[in-house]
Structure 1
Amino acid sequence: MIELSKRDVLGGSLAALWAGSRGAAAAAATAPVAIRPGRFDASVASLQAYRAPEWFRNAKFGIWAHWGPQAVPAQGDWYARWMYVPGHPCYDHHVKTYGHPSEKGYKDIIPLWTAARWDPDALAARYAAAGARYLVSMGVHHDNFDLWRSRHQRWNATRMGPKRDVVGEWQAAAKRHGMRFGVSEHLGASYTWWYPNHLYDQFWPRLGVEYDGADPRYADLYHDNRTEPFTNKPGTWYTKNPAYHRHWFDRISDLLDSYQPDFLYTDGGIPFGEVGRALMAHFYNSRTGPSGQVEAVYACKNQGSGDFFEGTAVQDVERGVLKGINPLPWQTDSSNGDWFHKTDDSWKSSAEVLAILTDVVSKNGNLLLNIVLRADGSLPPESDRLLADLEGWFQVNAEAIHDTRPWKIFGEGPTEAAGGAFGENGRYTARDIRFTTKGERLFALTLAPPAGPVAITTLRRGSRVEPRRVGSVHLLGRGPVAFRQTASALVVDLPASLPTPQGVALDIRFA
């Protein structure tokens, strides 16, 4: 058990609340937040002058280390919440493995996260080889545990658990391997999400015995918000308490100022109204170059709680896609398994991941993919195999993905992808084809390996979409291939042996 003394509390409005100085906390909450001077302010009109930088539009693929103490039990996502919910498998697992949450709570999981086999440089090298152009580190999840040398939270990875600057080490590794660097923050929802840790069993033999989250000694980890539970109902994802809004701003601006990342993801809409927009302005002003181009990308969701204003940020669609080509760059975030390591998980194959990536890129989007890590920082076999497969595919087909732009239409084929969050589909056929462009080159990528010739109906002779005559076709990884442009389709003959076991990419030039 970790004991708390007043010397350990490192400031911020929650420390004031813990100490009983609610008047000081209220005063801090209403004081203006400090925004770095620049062209942006907290108004929507100002933020709508934002344009996503070219590096993000060119990158197309990033890898996310959605990783932290919740990987320790190997029970998947949201463990820190579900372990306090009787009847949930995580509660049962916790009681059997660690003890009752009135005695052994999440605070006792944190010291078990030692990351003993974590080698960020070796992992970053593999991520870059697998086609990733940006690497994103977890900054803080809903568990309120900071993975950097935090000035406002003693519960952080440099003082507890691995006792390493996880964010800083990921950043250095990304830089060494030529990738842009980003961080994710899930703190905004933590104040309501973690409400169950304040509760107690409603049955014998521990009826009414409070969980450890109700202990005021640990209020800086578990929060002291006992009036705003997250219930899946609209408006409960984010707290309405201005003291927590200021606490969130101080914590996340510390993360941004300390590491100057290129990318920030918020797990929800823009939090907390003007306070959230102030953080966006601070981030954009901090990452504006001499030419006036903003190098920062802020990605957040356009559904559920919080705000989203078109053009102020990059829209993120969790585990989903958009129906067609979006005029503005966007992103989907997904994982090859559960968000945190889970025993007996179900895993995406490389064919599924590459089909999702290709579909997203054809619609002007990026894929940010979590590659699941074990608690010790090592790769499960499924993650290791996926990275090897991605490396092989990108060695052949990278030019059809990186630095491309959408074509006139995103593609063709029989499989209809549902638009919106949590509707991703990696199960496509070889007749499902997606298009990307680079200059005068048109790439046609199949979303599954073809068993014979590829027929592209969009490029048939006399097509209204593309009236030009096809002059040549190259199969990436092989070279020129025979083709014929008929009244029904552009038919491309392929060799018996394909360059990759997933889909193929055709480089099409017009006469």
Structure 2
Amino acid sequence: MDRRNALKLGVSALAGLYLSPLLGQSHILNTPAFKGPFQPTWDSLEKYQVPDWFRDAKFGMWAHWGPQCEPEAGDWYGRGMYEEGSRQYKFHVEKYGHPSKFGFKDVINVWKADNWNPEELVNLYKNSGAKYFMAMANHHDNLDLYDSKYQPNWNSTKIGPKKDIIAGWEKAARKAGLPFAVSVHAAHAWNWFDTSQGADKNGALAGVPYDGKLTKADGKGTWWEGLDPQDLYAQNHPLSAKPSDRSSVHSQWDWADGASIPSSAYSEKFHDRTIDLIDKYNPDMIYFDDTALPLWPVSDAGLRIAAHMYNKSLQKNNAVQAVITGKILNEQQKKAIVWDIEKGQSNAIEPLPWQTDTCLGNWHYDRGVYNNKRYKSAKTVIHT
């Protein structure tokens, strides 16, 4: 395994550390009781205790790897390729064609993961000092990288690599004796992909819609005949405010500031996909790329997922050995799950365990970072 190929997998660093005060109390939704001592409410989840294995681990490695690495053009490619005039849009048009004709679904189709060797990679990470290993289970692009019961067509066993990526990572991590973690980002596909609803404002194809609104009926005679792109893009809904503004999606991360609110069907599908992931692959840890928990506060889906994972771990281990992370937590939420600070750290010594995470280059592989020797040094990763 050469250095370039290892880095192309989007390997990132994770560190378990300690937390600080942020937001006030969140509104609690009325939800049905969940079987087991942990109920899907913050009041119940705050009884959680962080397991010793995570307190002691201190350093982990994360393979932030999926179909957005295929173009080798950096992070959030699946959104940026639909932003007319952007670097990724220009790259996409030159490499693949116009996004009305070759969309992100087609990028997935050409991603094959031919040289992926999970056992070799996990051994490399362990030998580098990792005490736990994390693999990406899905990103905002909404492709499940596992044999997904509730995303049955748009998953890596059916298109693209036609491999169960999470199963391969899990097997390698267990063999290496490392706790196995997964990261889940798909709750935000609803508004993250809203750029795919657009069209060029200039040029020969001005006004021609990108492929984000295509349906199953449009696929006749294509490689994706029989598949419904809306099961991937989830764009059969009104746009969020300022959908083409790159900064607006960040201000709407907590489903405020004009965000289009996900439907109940979308939220329940995300819930079912994540429960399926937990039950099939038994991760020791889940990283959620969300404010607090997924879809909070517009849905209690994330609360139900957390209660399920804690109760399942308790039943299996006679103590909760599971870890769940979330971002931008209030004081009660910091007791219920582990606070994650992306590319940052607390400015105080904290009473509870927390985690920071960063990437060596971009979150998704960018050949330019490699070519220009812009990877972060170990010192930079550790100290910043």
Could you say which TM-score interval applies, normalised by the shorter chain? 0.7 to 0.9
Relative to structure 1, the CA distance from residue 209 to residue 281 in structure 2 (aligned partners, 3 Å threshold; closer, same or farther) is same
Give how far 1:138 is off: 0.4
What amino acid is the match of 2:335?
G
Query: Alignment partner for residue 69 of structure 1, among 67, 70, 76?
Result: 67
Q: Distance in 2 between matches of 1:233 and 1:335?
A: 19
1:343 aligns with 2:364: no
1:177-218 superposed Cα distances (whole Å, 9 cap, x missing partner): 010001111011111111011111112311211111111221
Q: Distance in 2 between matches of 1:142 and 1:173?
A: 25
Residue matched to 1:112: 110
Residue matched to 2:11: none
What does 1:72-221 correspond to in 2, within 5 Å? Answer: 72-153=70-151, 154-217=153-216, 218-221=229-232
Check the 8 A contact 1:246/1:275 in 2, yes or no: yes
1:447-470 superposed Cα distances (whole Å, 9 cap, x missing partner): xxxxxxxxxxxxxxxxxxxxxxxx
Q: Distance in 1 between matches of 2:202 and 2:62?
A: 40
TM-score of the two chains, using structure 2 as the length reference: 0.80
Check the 8 A contact 2:42/2:332 in 1, yes or no: no
Relative to structure 1, the CA distance from residue 322 to residue 213 in structure 2 (aligned partners, 3 Å threshold; closer, same or farther) is same
1:322-347 superposed Cα distances (whole Å, 9 cap, x missing partner): 11211000000111110111022121
Give how far 1:243 is off: 2.2
Relative to structure 1, the CA distance from residue 118 to residue 55 in structure 2 (aligned partners, 3 Å threshold; closer, same or farther) is same
Residue matched to 2:45: 47
Check the 8 A contact 2:253/2:290 in 1, yes or no: no
Residue matched to 2:288: 266
Check the 8 A contact 1:47/1:281 in 2, yes or no: yes
Q: Which has the larger radius of gyration?
A: 1
What amino acid is the match of 1:288?
L
Check the 8 A contact 1:149/1:157 in 2, yes or no: yes
Q: Distance in 2 between matches of 1:352 and 1:191?
A: 34
Give how far 1:266 is off: 0.6
Query: Alignment partner for residue 305 of structure 2, among 279, 294, 297?
Result: 279
Q: Distance in 2 between matches of 1:152 and 1:76?
A: 29
Give how far 1:34 is off: 9.1
Alignment gaps of 5+ in structure 2 = 1-30, 217-228
Q: Distance in 1 between matches of 2:254 and 2:48?
A: 26
1:300-329 superposed Cα distances (whole Å, 9 cap, x missing partner): 1016xx997120000000000111211000
TM-score of the two chains, using structure 1 as the length reference: 0.61
1:227 aligns with 2:239: yes
1:248 aligns with 2:270: yes
State the aligned residue count.
Answer: 324
Give how far 1:237 is off: 4.9
Residue matched to 2:341: 317
Q: Distance in 2 between matches of 1:150 and 1:49?
A: 31
Identical pairs, percent: 39
Give how far 1:38 is off: 1.4
Relative to structure 1, the CA distance from residue 343 to residue 307 in structure 2 (aligned partners, 3 Å threshold; closer, same or farther) is farther
Moved more, 171-180 or 122-131: 122-131
Q: Distance in 1 between matches of 2:253 and 2:375?
A: 31
SS at match of 1:264: strand
Q: Distance in 2 between matches of 1:144 and 1:175?
A: 26
Give how far 1:262 is off: 0.3
Relative to structure 1, the CA distance from residue 237 to residue 73 in structure 2 (aligned partners, 3 Å threshold; closer, same or farther) is farther
1:40-96 superposed Cα distances (whole Å, 9 cap, x missing partner): 011211101001100101111111110001001111100000000001100000001
What amino acid is the match of 2:288?
T
What amino acid is the match of 1:285?
N
SS at match of 2:335: coil
Give how far 1:292 is off: 4.0
1:380-419 superposed Cα distances (whole Å, 9 cap, x missing partner): xxxxxxxxxxxxxxxxxxxxxxxxxxxxxxxxxxxxxxxx
Alignment gaps of 5+ in structure 1 = 1-31, 357-424, 426-511
